Amino acid sequence: MKATITLHATRKAIDLSKPIDLSITLKNSDKNPLAWYLEKPKISPVQLDDWVGSVEAGASVNFNNIAFNPHAHGTHTECYGHITKEFYSINDALKTFFFMAEVITVAPENREGDLVISEAQLKERLHGTTPQAVVIRTLPNTISKKSRKYSNTNWAYLHKDAATYLRKIGVLHLLIDLPSIDKEKDDGALLAHKAFWDVPKAPRKKATITEFIYVPNSVKDGSYVLNLQIASFENDASPSKPILYKPL
Ligand SMILES: N[C@@H](CC(=O)c1ccccc1NC=O)C(=O)O
């Protein structure tokens, strides 16, 4: 199935039968990626007295409870409610779901023992484009990202100036293949989150950050149509399913 999308008088044709799924599956398995010092998600049948919600155990249906954390267990999209005292829901922040996106690839720079994505790197990779969404693939890009145990690894992060740059060129949706755009242990500074959302000065209520994606190596850098979908959780963050379509 093909579709034509018109944005700012530019028409792009896409093939809806060729989605590129950037989400990492969330599973009850040791292969699930982990961050923030949590153990794996739990997916298990409901038990009510003698009844077990599993067809294998004699029930008519499979009926599982799921216990997980959107920030720690896989691909999720968050709004500025992630870092504010007041409650703001991702379900109110994200109300439209198709955007023009630029996929870029960066090798974080070594700065005093940290791996940092700089403003200069983003500027160079975006070469003057001002997309609605930016998808950052970090190098090395191995498939182990889908099952990595990130806790206490001091993963790569976005310099606050890089996040400010994205805000200033009008990027509304930022996607990255790390558990956070910020440094794992920063004493609560969350500099890149604050810079991207402009918190507390002038919070960008519609801006979102999607973390824990995986961009397959087969996907080339460049322009795509992004379909960013969340589950309708009233929460700062929700599991999400970003899908790219390559313009034909
Ligand atoms: N870097 C923060 C912690 C942090 O960002 C965080 C901690 C637990 C669960 C989620 C977190 N952040 C991101 O989604 C700090 O060191 O205080």
What is the per-residue pLDDT across 90-148, written as a single tens digit (0 to 9) for each?
999 999 999 999 999 999 999 999 999 999 999 999 999 999 999 999 999 999 999 99
Domains of the chain are 4-27+70-245 (3.50.30.50)
Pocket test for ligand 1, best of 186, 193, 240 (most atoms within 8 A of CB): 186
Ligand 1 neighbour 30 (Cβ under 6 A):
no
CA–centroid distance, residue 154 to ligand 1 (Å): 12
pLDDT tens per residue, range 180-208 = 999 999 999 999 999 999 999 999 999 99
Complex confidence, ipTM = 0.95
Ligand 1, atom 2: nearest CA belongs to which residue?
188
The model scores a pTM over 0.80 = yes
Ligand 1 neighbour 238 (Cβ under 6 A):
no
Ligand 1, atom 9: nearest CA belongs to which residue?
36
Ligand 1, atom 13: nearest CA belongs to which residue?
180
Ligand 1 neighbour 182 (Cβ under 6 A):
yes
pLDDT tens per residue, range 16-70 = 999 999 999 999 999 999 999 999 999 999 999 999 999 999 999 999 999 999 9
Question: Positive or negative CA dihedral for 207, 72, 213, 136?
Answer: positive
Ligand 1, atom 15: nearest CA belongs to which residue?
188
Ligand 1 neighbour 58 (Cβ under 6 A):
no
